[in-house]
Structure 1
């Protein structure tokens, strides 16, 4: 299948084809003794992910674990569907997200407020998962991949209060979710993801420092793909956060409303990203994943809390 890439170490990247786009959201299958899916993608992506798993030899009774870095719909919107397709799989999530997978009604209504009519085409509907199948993680936790190999979970809020990073003892791969930002392999661009309501600068920088301390061999971005240059990339993640926060803070101190703040930050950061100079849809992809309105709104929300 053309949406599967072997990454070595029995790890396979699956393009979940979010909203029909390629290269936007990745799920990862760790095959091994106890197959584990990291990130499900959206609900509308679930059949695509199932087909990919089938082609890799993982049948309905074979998947041992599904783990999500956090419960935003581009990462976990397919959990209910995937749980139904794979009735033996345990669903693993941070304890602050567990109840929303069991009862998604609040999560879906707040997502509908943000996305409106776009919700159905972009994400679809997160179906509930039986709470008996959900394992809620604390600040750390371990997922058994079989044969002594583990996936260790590390609480990494800042992007979202229910976010974890996951490190594979077999490969040294660190699944960063959105805590290190959004990476575009076509251009090498990296941009922060700072949506409301949970963004907090010190917490976000703390999560990046935690990732550095885990000394991973490789970063696996949910958006999008593997990056081998670990130290430089995490350093850049922190720098990007500071740039966006400094600019938004300036807009905030000048009393700008959201629209004017977004326009100013967009203008002042444009030169940082090759994607925005392309006219091949790459810029549209970037805006969908790490849109200036969402990023600036998240930073303003935080600023209003810490320096009203």
Structure 2
């Protein structure tokens, strides 16, 4: 993504019905295809492609991957399905946010034939064959079209962005609270739900597997509260977005080893994945919408 390696993950579940979880961006689609080929998955072998949500760093490659693998069904939460079939509104919204950066960051989401899209509701499952399923668990807060996915055979839980952004080099975990859907209580309930599912590992889309489930989810909830508390202070003080971002960035800097890492690229990737401007903007938007007594 954006010319960086190791910034977002797709996961291949091998079995009777091979399944790809997350496609990454459109610009990453050829990389994903070549990786699947190297693992012995041909054009007619992939049974399903599942995305945790439709943000372009997770699902931007869906249309391309669907073209490479014509036998695969495309699985997404029901609130995101129409945007995969007709991405025009999603792409226009993304263009407003990212401007000219959109092309280099994400590329363009190609449409997927609506007949190939299958939706998940608050629950639902994907057949992996041999009695094995990928169970969907609705987990909004980060986005209203977000699902976590639990593998019945391994206990692996694909957490998308609902548990935040994980950086394997440093072990940092940072929230992902972009506009327009962020809601603190909903986000915390999603994290609690993940704990109740008792997974063996958390598989972050950004990125990689983490085995220390309880401590990681506790940290995820803590990070959400820290960023919200600081942004509330800025909001109450009447700061505009730029000043709020500067304040929150300064007060959270020491929480993350990546920002003091000797490798500048690591810090750049971390900021691209979970940038203070996006996080603070999402929280500010929520604060503007929330009733005073609820915050």
Same fold at TM > 0.5: yes
TM-score by structure 2 length?
0.98
Partner of 2:278: 294
**How many Å separate the matches in 2 of 1:138 and 1:146?**
21
1:223-268 alpha-carbon deviations (Å, 9 max, x no partner): 0100000000000000000000000000000000000000000000
Q: Which moved more, 1:20-29 or 1:158-167?
A: 20-29
Counterpart position of 1:218? 201
Q: Which secondary structure does the structure 1 equivalent of 2:119 belong to?
A: strand
| Counterpart Cα distance in 2 of 1:282 and 1:139 | 36
Quote the residue 2:113 is aligned against: 130
Does residue 304 (structure 1) correspond to residue 281 (structure 2)? The answer is no
Q: Distance in 2 between matches of 1:263 and 1:269?
A: 10
SS of residue in 2 equivalent to 1:158: coil
Q: Which residue of 1 aligns with 2:8?
A: 25
Measure, in 1, the Cα distance between the counterparts of 2:34 and 2:226: 41
Provide the residue aligned with 2:179 in structure 1. 196
Structure 1 residue ranges without an equivalent (≥5): 1-17
Pairing 1:110-259 to 2, within 5 Å after superposition: 110-259=93-242
TM-score by length of 1: 0.94
Structure 1: how far apart are the matches of 2:18 and 2:230?
44
Structure 1 segments (4+ residues) deviating >2 Å: none
The alignment yields a C-alpha RMSD, in angstroms, of 0.7
Match of 2:258 among 267, 272, 275: 275
Q: Name the SS for the 1:210 alignment partner.
A: helix
Shift of 1:278: 1.6
Q: How many angstroms does 1:20 deviate by?
A: 2.1
Residues 77-116 of structure 1: matches in 2 within 5 Å?
77-116=60-99
| In structure 2, distance between residues paired with 1:86 and 1:65 | 9
Unaligned runs of 5+ in 2: none
Out of 247, 261, 266, the position equivalent to 1:264 is 247
